Amino acid sequence: MVDGAIHKATVCLDKNKNDACDSGEPFAITKADGTANLTVDNADAGQFPILAIIGTDAIDADNGPVTVPYVMKAPADKPGFVSPLTTMVQNVVENTGSTSTAAETLVKAQTGINLSLFEDFTKSNTDDAKAAGTLARMVVVTTQQQATAIASAVGTPDVSGATISKQDLDKAIQKRLLEILPTLMEKLADPSIASAGTDLTAKNAAIAALATSLLSTNGLTSTSVATTVAIDKQVAGGGSTSASSGVAAVASGSLSRLTFTSVSDWFMRATTSTVAQLTPNTDGTTKYRAASTVQPVGGSAYSWGNGSRPERGSDLHWTGSAWAYCPINFEHSSSVRDANGFSTSNYCNNLEVGRSARAATFDIAGRTMLDVYNQIVGAGYTNIKIQNAAGVLGASTFPTGSKLHYQPTTVLTTAITYSPGAGDYVYTVDAAYAAGDSVACNNTNLPDDVADGITLEDLIATRRGTPCKFDPTEPISGLNGVSLSSGSRNEAWGGTTLDMGTLGTAPTFSTASQASSYYTTNTRLRVAFAANNVANYYSCQQRYNNFTRNCNLIGTGTYAIQTLGDARVMTFSGLPAIFSAQNWVGTFVERGGHIYYGYKNRPTSDNKARFNLTASNALFGQLGMPAVDPDAPTVLTQGSFAGTYTGTYSGTYSGSFNFTVSPTGTHSCSGNDTLGVFFACAFNNIDSISGTMANLTIGAASTGAIFTGTIDYTTGLVNGTWTKTGGADGTFAGSRY
């Protein structure tokens, strides 16, 4: 048993799964090397999880005496090794009903750990083992800090009136750690960890500071835990049922996200089911729809289906048998709950597959909306946000039939996905420039980068990690006259590596006069290729104007190319731990004559506060928002087509165009003709919308041309014809950028 090897910990077979070592359960005390032997009846072997209780009399071989007690676990079928990482695996098993193998796969996908979570990482000195050890220590320190912060809640009542125990707090902490794991991984990418090197004291100090920062915005409090514990107890006890035997189903809905600033500025996302959709199919699944709606300041409300914004409606994902969109009004599926209360959901034909326990449900009829809202916020839930809640909710109460659900869900698998627009094209660059040739690096008239007709092999051949090296820049004037300089190292890596993400949110600028430093505080993650399918991973600086500079090799792994339908997809393994600070993993998709930047979301654990349909519509009425009707399909409006579209036209004349659809009506467009002369054009509004097709007309006043065509919401494609005074005509085509 390790964080470091733990001496004097109590280890037992938790036969009643109550997170305590009870009388009659086999137990042992760990030796100085962290080992212990349990004598278990043959009938019990592999049937119950292992529980380790680390008290203040225990000693951590790496970190000294334990000052704050905590617990660790291991799955029933993996009893040989107990660590903070096996604890996360066992918690996934408990939360989803999954096997230990599936749970381990999930945790590895979330954390990027590249070794078995059931092996002793303290026995190895590899980078992967070090990353596992750092994560394990972060989990323990975060657990201890969280336990200290809420220790006073023991013996107090939860919101249901039951008394809170130490075991209740342990379980609440473990669940919260899974929920905030993506943010925890972001914290571990902080430079202070790498700077500490092998200095254990400095590393532990850095971890402690990062854990404090993590919990300051994501942790439980002695107040919030009263709600959290009541939720956990109800879920563990079987939660609620969606319908009682013999009771006819009724149309339902659930508010899963709300950000309300004012009646003219809000966002909401809801799921709905008609009576027919709630009636189980022969395969034992029910159906539901999901849609988001935004009311923008100065514009009209608009809705869409999949993704964080309308543009994501064109994203394509691999379903396992084909590349598919997530159409508007798509019917997602959810299995009828099994005997243990678990249900499997399938969002958008395998885009995401998850497992959920029964929801904890509270009757809120007659309670004031403000009181319920404050309880949600006080419990740490952030998916419902109402600005000036006291003012807009007042003393209004929820009507009869109002329910509040707390629904824990764990995403188990996600699909490889890409956006088919030109904005996600990958380009090849001049081969000499990519090879760092000094003449090419200083040539201001290099051939244009190429996106059409390229293959993954073209990328492998040119993106080899050989930068252009330049002399240090002369100081230039930045914001408020501050002097900006590259420093002694000035290497351009953008043309010889590929983008795998950026850590940080610092802005970039088009001109130096807007920047206060030559480099931003962001870290760019990149990849380059070597022989034998080797992938080299880099951490790079970002120049103020978004250029990639001064990369350092931080790890080596491999790439693989597989054929999925009519596409070839490049994926990566052996990614350094810092890549886990992103909640997605980069891929490259070769399809239809282009290569696209693709992605695969990491699995997540989530727990949202959700109002049922009655409560949601009552809340909407109070806020001045439209009610949700499960029987009414989502209808697209002008804002649903928001985005920038680019393309080309041909015929009597040829050239390119781009136009932007804005939800607020401030559209724009421009283009150029055969001679490269840019022209202005008039684009006032989308003419009409029928289903997923929008009709538009663009007039190029300076040329006398009229472009008439359609936008397909689902594909993001633009097509049509153009005519010009004097008889010239032709066609045009493009896509969402």
- Asked whether the predicted pLDDT for residue 571 surpasses 60, the reply is yes
**pLDDT value, residue 244:** 41
The pLDDT tens digits for 11-40 are 999 999 999 999 999 999 999 999 999 999
**pLDDT value, residue 444:** 86
Banded model confidence at residue 248, pLDDT cuts 50, 70, 90: low
Banded model confidence at residue 548, pLDDT cuts 50, 70, 90: very high
Task: Answer whether residue 599 is part of any domain.
Answer: no
Task: Give the integer Cα–Cα distance in Å for 483 and 610.
Answer: 52
20's tokens: 């305590």
**Residue 166 φ then ψ, to 5°:** -60, -40
Residue (of 320, 103, 360, 139) closest to 240 by Cα position = 360
- Asked whether the predicted pLDDT for residue 441 surpasses 60, the reply is yes
Q: Which are the contacts of 134, defined by CB distance < 8 A and separation ≥ 6?
A: 188, 193, 203, 207, 577
**pLDDT value, residue 665:** 81
- Asked whether the predicted pLDDT for residue 239 surpasses 70, the reply is no
Residue (of 252, 250, 309, 255) closest to 620 by Cα position = 255
Task: Answer whether residue 445 is part of any domain.
Answer: no
Q: Do 642 and 690 belong together in one domain?
A: yes
Q: Do 614 and 645 belong together in one domain?
A: no
The pLDDT tens digits for 583-627 are 999 999 999 999 999 999 999 998 899 999 999 999 999 999 999
Residue at 697: amino acid letter: T
**pLDDT value, residue 246:** 45
Q: Do 401 and 515 belong together in one domain?
A: no
Task: Give the integer Cα–Cα distance in Å for 417 and 257.
Answer: 24
Task: Answer whether residue 633 is part of any domain.
Answer: no
The pLDDT tens digits for 71-92 are 999 999 999 999 999 999 999 9
Task: Give the integer Cα–Cα distance in Å for 170 and 150.
Answer: 10
- Report the chain's C-alpha Rg in angstroms: 28
Q: Map residue 312 onto helix, strand or coil.
A: helix
Given 169, 201, 236, which residue is the final one in a domain? Answer: 236
- Asked whether the predicted pLDDT for residue 188 surpasses 70, the reply is yes
Residue at 650: amino acid letter: S
**pLDDT value, residue 247:** 53
How many Å separate Cα 225 from the centre of its chain? Answer: 25
Q: What domain count does the chain have? A: 4
Listed ranges 221-225, 240-244, 540-544, 647-651; the one with the highest mean pLDDT: 540-544
Contact present, 124 and 131 (Cβ < 8 Å): no
Q: Do 583 and 645 belong together in one domain?
A: no
- Asked whether the predicted pLDDT for residue 240 surpasses 60, the reply is no
Task: Answer whether residue 1 is part of any domain.
Answer: no
Banded model confidence at residue 243, pLDDT cuts 50, 70, 90: very low
The pLDDT tens digits for 459-512 are 999 999 999 999 998 899 999 999 999 999 999 999 999 999 999 999 999 999
- Asked whether the predicted pLDDT for residue 350 surpasses 90, the reply is yes
421's tokens: 């627009």
Residue with tokens 């684009």: 683
Least reliable range by pLDDT among 32-46, 233-247, 268-282, 721-735: 233-247
Residue (of 264, 260, 302, 313) closest to 663 by Cα position = 302
Contact present, 571 and 500 (Cβ < 8 Å): no
Q: Do 214 and 256 belong together in one domain?
A: no
What helix, strand, coil percent values describe the chain, rounded to 5?
25, 35, 40
Q: Do 88 and 128 belong together in one domain?
A: yes
Given 206, 236, 266, which residue is the final one in a domain? Answer: 236
Q: Do 583 and 613 belong together in one domain?
A: no
Residue (of 658, 707, 667) closest to 423 by Cα position = 658
Task: Answer whether residue 677 is part of any domain.
Answer: yes
| DSSP assignments along 277-301, one per residue | HHS--TTSEEEEEEEEEEE-TTS--
Q: Do 290 and 396 belong together in one domain?
A: yes
Q: Which are the contacts of 51, defined by CB distance < 8 A and separation ≥ 6?
A: 11, 12, 13, 14, 19, 20, 21, 71, 72, 73
Task: Answer whether residue 374 is part of any domain.
Answer: yes
Q: Do 96 and 163 belong together in one domain?
A: yes
Rounded average pLDDT over 348-362: 94
Rounded average pLDDT over 328-352: 95
**pLDDT value, residue 606:** 86
**pLDDT value, residue 245:** 43
**pLDDT value, residue 676:** 66
Question: Which run of H or E residues covers position 645?
Answer: strand 643-651
Return the CATH number at 723: 2.40.128.120
How many Å separate Cα 346 from the centre of its chain? Answer: 17
Q: Do 167 and 33 belong together in one domain?
A: yes
Residues recorded for the chain:
737
Task: Answer whether residue 391 is part of any domain.
Answer: yes
Q: Which residue has the higher pLDDT, 587 or 724?
A: 587
Task: Give the integer Cα–Cα distance in Å for 252 and 549.
Answer: 53
Beta strands in 448-547 (DSSP E): 468-469, 476-477, 483-484, 491-492, 498-503, 519-530, 534-543
Banded model confidence at residue 699, pLDDT cuts 50, 70, 90: confident
Given 236, 265, 293, which residue is the final one in a domain? Answer: 236
- Per cent of the chain over pLDDT 70 is 98
Task: Give the integer Cα–Cα distance in Å for 95 and 234.
Answer: 13
**Residue 347 φ then ψ, to 5°:** -95, 120
The pLDDT tens digits for 118-154 are 999 999 999 999 999 999 999 999 999 999 999 999 9
Q: Do 276 and 204 belong together in one domain?
A: no
Q: Domain range holding 364?
A: 252-415+605-623
Cβ neighbours around 33 below 10 Å, total? 12
Task: Answer whether residue 241 is part of any domain.
Answer: no
Model pTM score: 0.92
Q: What is the mean pLDDT of the chain?
A: 94
Residue (of 213, 224, 160) closest to 188 by Cα position = 213
Q: Do 731 and 648 belong together in one domain?
A: yes
